[in-house]
Structure 1
Amino acid sequence: MKERIAAIAINAALVLLALFALAPLAWMVSVSFMASGEAAAFPPPLLPSAPSWTNYVQLFARDRMGGYLLNSLLLAGAITLLSLAFNLTAGYAFAKLRFRGRDALFRALLGALVIPAQVAMMPLFLLMKELGLVNTYAGVALPALASIFGVFLVRQYARSIPDELLEAARIDGAGEARIFFSIVLPLLRPIIATLAILTFLASWNDFMWPLIVLSDQQYQTLPVALASLSREHVMDNELMMAGAVVTVLPVLALFLMLQRHYLRGLLLGSVKG
């Protein structure tokens, strides 16, 4: 009986915490359907008096959010795919391939994790300028093609793959490319989903680097465009909330599609090696 009461109390507490966490998101969606100025009333209403799509229509028709949304989708998607290719191959190499200086190089990479990203922005910008990549999507994507955290995450998970399995494939005549694509990648599926979500989320929400590199308004990503929009419509909370909903939806959809693999990757990959 005591165990049952304890379980009920724990579940009730978890439900309350979940409602507390979701309440701001629910109110954000509610405000996005309100008329202009309605959310500024005191006390603020929880639900719109007359729900309307006006704010979303204005975002896409007048403020050209559709183009910025497409820019962010293409850029974040390209960064995610390319970053997966680099991080997976590098992580697997550090985990299972033997080469001179492997451990020393990996320790040096881990040491670089303590360097704040902001410190590297000026050298990176000067490098992009010398390469002629300022005001291009390549200049935004290139620094994100590989991350130390991504390599570390894949390496820790790949270490759980039995060496005997790889040696048996080599004895059967399989090359390293065949082993990687036919054996390693299927076993890395949970960590691939985890890394894909984390990379997409980071590139989707990135504000500072696209703001520095992209100067033309037509190339702007959604977070930068939304910040510019907030300066133009500083008092229009309803329009800002509609823009925030548009920003959240793609990431939420990606997480819901990959959540099973994502959670499995977090629970398993974090304890490997």
Structure 2
Amino acid sequence: MKKQNSTALKWIINIAFVIISFIALFPILNLVLSSFRPASEIMRNGISLVFDPSSLNLNNYKFIFTEASTYWGWYGNSLIIALITVVLSLFFSAMVGYALALYDFKGRNVVFGFVLFILMVPFEILMLPLFQMMIKMQLVNTYTAVILPAVVAPIAVFFFRQYALGLPKELMDSARMDGATEYGIYFKIMLPLMTPSLAAMAILQGLGAWNNFLWPLVVLRSNSMFTLPLGLATMLTPYGNNYDVLITGSLMTIVPIIILFIFFQRYFVAGLTVGGVKG
């Protein structure tokens, strides 16, 4: 009887997860189908599953791949910014988090307290002083202005610090006895052990950099420097909305994130789980 109840419970849970998955994927399915519809059809019926199947075509994709040169410029800008942001953020944030976790030095708790404090401050409050810094440094309308505030992200420092607390200090002591330098210990021994956390944070930081809208809106000026979120937003104007191209272009923005997750998915859950429970 107990085995039958357990089997029935598993079936109920599986069905519930299937329903939840369908609800979660429904907007994506709607977006995919709408990307094949002409603008007139979208304006008439809206973004919904009620449409004329005979109206589906590849014109939107043909336009994106053959005529929308500006779109691919925005795409390239987003790729460059996201890639550099992820690499620099992982490099510096992992190093800071590792030092806060495994080294005893004067003021360590104070530094970690500042990290927590900045983590609790909304970015909108920091935006004005950051923008003033960009003006003084003459970095407005550059990649550097978009990337610099995210190089050492407080959430990444906190995450790496929590993960590094679970690393065995005995390995560090053994390496020191063998004559390894502190940088050698970090890069050759400890950093490889942090691979799951690096992969998890690469996905989160990449997603944040790719979808970032507010900060690029503040510091970027020219159309040629716009990122994808900014560029797609310019398609919505009071004089005409290119919903067909906008939807197709928005769908194409999902591709890099999917590729990033496919590469790092086996580390993602492990990195979040271990890094989240250490204290």
Structure 1 position 243, deviation (Å): 1.4
Q: Which amino acid aligns with 1:22?
A: L
Whole-Å Cα distance in 1 between the matches of residues 176 and 51 of structure 2? 63
Unaligned runs of 5+ in 2: none
Q: Is the 8 A contact 1:32 1:238 kept in 2?
A: yes
Once the two structures are overlaid, the 10-residue window that deviates more, 107-116 or 162-171, is 107-116
Structure 1 position 49, deviation (Å): 2.5
Per-residue deviation, residues 50-99 of structure 1 (Å, max 9, x unmatched):
43221123234146211110110011101110111110110100011121
Aligned residue for 1:199?
205
Which of 12, 19, 35 pairs up with 1:16? Answer: 19
Q: Is the 8 A contact 2:235 2:241 kept in 1?
A: no
Q: Is the 8 A contact 2:197 2:267 kept in 1?
A: yes
Per-residue deviation, residues 134-189 of structure 1 (Å, max 9, x unmatched):
11111111111011110010000011111111111111111011111111111100
Aligned residue for 2:168?
162
Whole-Å Cα distance in 2 between the matches of residues 113 and 178 of structure 1? 30
- Count of paired positions: 273
Q: How does 1:1-273 map to 2 (within 5 A)?
A: 1-42=4-45, 44-45=49-50, 48-60=53-65, 61-62=67-68, 64-231=70-237, 234-273=240-279
Whole-Å Cα distance in 1 between the matches of residues 99 and 227 of structure 2? 34
Whole-Å Cα distance in 1 between the matches of residues 194 and 211 of structure 2? 26
Structure 1 position 41, deviation (Å): 4.2
Q: Is the 8 A contact 1:39 1:45 kept in 2?
A: no
Change (3 A) 1:190 1:218: same
Q: Please state whether the residue corresponding to 2:236 is helix, strand or coil.
A: helix
TM, length-normalised to structure 2: 0.93
Q: Is the 8 A contact 2:70 2:224 kept in 1?
A: no
Structure 1 position 244, deviation (Å): 1.1
Whole-Å Cα distance in 2 between the matches of residues 47 and 106 of structure 1? 58
Q: Which amino acid aligns with 2:82?
A: A
- Runs of 4 or more, structure 1, over 4 Å off, are 41-44, 232-235
Q: Which amino acid aligns with 1:18?
A: S
TM, length-normalised to structure 1: 0.95
Q: Which amino acid aligns with 2:158?
A: F
Q: Please state whether the residue corresponding to 1:161 is helix, strand or coil.
A: coil
